[in-house]
Structure 1
Amino acid sequence: MTGAVTGTVTGPVTGPVSAPTLAELAHPPQDHTYAFLDESAKRELRRTVLRAIALPGHQVPYASREVPIARGWGTGGLQATLALVGPQDTVKVIDQGADDSVNAANLRRFIARMTGVPTTTDATQATLIQSRHRVPEEVLGAGQVLVLQVPDPEPLRAVESDLSAARQLHADADYGLLWLGLFEQLIRYGWIIQGASYPALVHGRYVISPSPIPRWDVPKLHQAAHLTLLSAGREKRLYAVPPYTDVRPLQFDDVPYRVEDMNGKACVRTGAAHKFLNELPQEGGSSLHELSDAGYGETLLRGREDGQVRPGATYYDDEGGFYHDGYLAR
């Protein structure tokens, strides 16, 4: 018999089976793509991140997209975060250590709305941390990603205004002008006054501007277990410090690198010492000090209240010792 259907039918046949409708096959309607950026933009940024990891410290260009915040307010960090964040992530956003500043709150709200991911103020619980000008006090671990907003990625700009010439100096690993600038500071002032964005040599090859983080935070990038991404949206550059990579601030053999002096100072709210503190001027000319890392301060206060919450290990111990022995001069 031609055209016969072979095989067996299992289960009762109750009638003709209707094909699913287009509405049933389509995703629920939404007014944006996941994480706001279109898929091609996210793929390009992820490729840029891979190139930056492969060449530690090298500035990799990318096509910076428009996002609903102004240039100079963290567009680079936001784009990197949106390209990497996934449903399994927990996000923390800080602005100079604060979780509740206008910049941090708005970026956190936007990321949560565009992705639906949970947010936290605890650095140890976050898988993705976007920060403006600070590295958390608690030691970040493997699997965590720190995204730093960068206003100016070029460490040579102060000594070489021609960007084409600066790129050639990077290619030749010729950083003599930077060393000369540090030497002039030493001769003129008796010490190196360079504060935030202190130049650092990554993996013995490229000198970077490690965002406007204070000198206190630069050593935290050395041999860190976490990945650090530094993204400048306005300048369309991204560079990285991969896990377990050497990061050495530029220093002369007889003039050791020193961080901000926090000796004799303590947080007025938590009593924490040998941590990076903000100065709070008072009437009469005196000053109080408060932890710059607000999330760490909250953890300390909660731990005192219930006795169960414990902060993670910090880069600087209670005596001011850095967690990598011998890295900093005491």
Structure 2
Amino acid sequence: MSKPSPKAVLKTIKGYELDKWTATFWLVKRSMANREARYTVLRVNTDAKLQKRLKGYITSQLQGKDFHLAEYDYSNADGDDTLFTIAADATDFPQVEKEINAGFNNAIAKDYAELLNSWAYVIQIEQGNEKLFAWRKISTLTQPKKVESRRATFFVEHKLIDVEDKEVFLIDPRFDFFVHDGTVFIANKREFETSMNFREGMKAKAAEVIQNFTDSGHFRHVDLIQKYVGDNLHHLRKMASILKAGYYQQPDYIQRLIEVSKEEGWALKVENGQIVVEEDSIELLLKLLNNDRLRSPINNETFDAAAKAPVKKSS
């Protein structure tokens, strides 16, 4: 049986009466070893009122509006009405789901200290065999040990109580991504990438591109690109997109890039048929290698456009 499309999965989700499902709250702990992430989970008991509120958050965000679906790519730009989709098994989430599926074999949080330094929290709602997961990366605003910096107070039994005297855990009504039936629906791309250890994957892709550049013989001073990219997430995304598009590996692409750059007067240095990498022009070079400089056929204006989709001609 073929796997349902993301569009079909989302349509199914929108048809669920999620308010009637059962909700459970999970804290996710993460540790790193040799750049590999390992996840463990902790069950947290919640009362009926909070469970209802959590299901309301999920329903509001996921069912409360119509979304445009787009396949996840490193160069995607977040949009309020867009959900990016990717197969769950292409992410670290199956590791987390496996831990959650252990159910009552997982420990229950009994002390406030156990809530501290968590990586994320996951709301699992289920009915029968159907499960939907909502993930939120814990930030400086929701990290329990940092709550007191917000100067929050509580009015309890006719008096204001300072937050440092309360054991507080803040829950954001917005989730970073949802998982159902093998598909991840991404609402916050940056937090998804951080949560799921995608930076390390992008580093590997950047290293592969750098090696390809070196081996091709088309470039001089490739080490400057490596230095420029470093650990910067934006630059790593660009390198991953360059690798995926693969324009630089097409026959004659580099030669045409050099010719057009000269014709247009772009600041690209070329000597003896090689592109000389310079610090001041690395950003331009990466744009050209990803074919991000495009010209409108309507008014002949030139644009830099990282997110692009080929236009299909009508028959």
TM-score between both structures, scaled by the size of structure 1: 0.25
Q: Of the two structures, which has the highest relative contact order with CA contacts closer than 8 Å and spacing of 6 or more?
A: 1
Return the structure number with greater helix share: 2
Return the structure number with greater strand share: 2
TM-score between both structures, scaled by the size of structure 2: 0.26
